[in-house]
Homo-oligomer: A and B are copies of this chain.
Amino acid sequence: MLIVLKPNVTTEEIDHIVDKIKSLKLEPYVSTGVQRTIITVIGDEDVIRELPLEAIAGVESVKPILRPFKLVSRDAHPDRTRVKVGDVVIGGDKIVVVAGPCAVEGEKEVIEHAKMVKKAGAKLFRAGAYKPRTSPYAFQGYREQGLKFLAKAREETGLPIVTEVMDPRDVCIVAEYADIMQIGTRNMQNYNLLTEVGKARKPVILKRGMSSTINEFLMAAEYILSQGNKDLILCPRGIRTFEDVTRNTLDAGVVPVLKDWTHLPVVADPSHAMGIKDYVTSAAMAYLAAGADGIMVEAHPSPEDAMSDGQQTIDYDQLVALIDRLGKIARAMDRDIY
């Protein structure tokens, strides 16, 4: 930690800051330059991070030296995490495609959708039983019943199931049915929910908050790992910016940063990033070329009849073509596709 003092700082103020740091059992070093005096603090940065140094008279700014997360960091865990689900390993040489409709639309429907996804060649099936909706008047999902429909779809197709959990009260039941529990973008900083899925023993896919910084995203991941759940997948899905032609702004650039800073696999969601079905394929290819380990995409046999998110949902033919193109890119990058 580096503490920059104001140009007019007094000796008393410096002494006060030094005492404060020493009282935390940390070592302050004062260096006086021509324009500013600086205090460098050696020791556990976590301790001092909690201290409101900027509130102390004489302090101009505080500059942390270390990144705030630990368990997600490759420093502490140089081997890459691989999450095994059924026969698929996420985070290895082969990339994986997760596909399915936004919502579970009924028992018959979800089985039909899973069959379509399997036939197209995707290896995991996604569909939401619990749906976070902007409007209180919109369809909120089949909830517990939807989980049972998903279990039937898995029975029929053998595809593992990815489905969202929104409420700490539902973690137990979702963990019972899902193969991977999804934390949605609006819940990325729902810390009690993160803590509950961290305690569960089911893989988790954590979506980036729609305006979360990379550091916040990784601190949310840290919550889950800190509870003992090691099977975590990071999911970029676009961020909110000033641009409004697309639903969000594709954050393909975050992929190399996540792969560099962390040991966790990255499966990216091009559907929410773009919000427009005709641009989803290009977005998926960009995420993959940037280094993603997989793609999670909204697909439906008839997007115009989808119960939600139809405008960003690709159809069967588009899904088949997408998987073909992803495979070619993967091989051009000396990887392969499941």
Contacts and interface: CB of A to CB of B under 8 A. Distances in A.
A116 interface: no
A210 B211 contact: yes
B35 A219 contact: no
Nearest to A216: B134
Contacts of A309: 52
A303 interface: yes
A239 B332 CA distance: 28
Nearest to A102: B52
A291 interface: yes
A256 interface: yes
A145 interface: no
A125 to B, nearest CB: 20
A320 interface: no
30 contacts: A4-B65, A20-B304, A34-B43, A50-B138, A50-B139, A51-B310, A52-B303, A52-B304, A52-B306, A54-B311, A55-B306, A55-B313, A136-B223, A166-B190, A166-B192, A187-B190, A213-B242, A215-B245, A242-B242, A243-B251, A249-B249, A249-B251, A250-B252, A250-B253, A253-B282, A253-B283, A256-B278, A328-B333, A329-B333, A331-B332
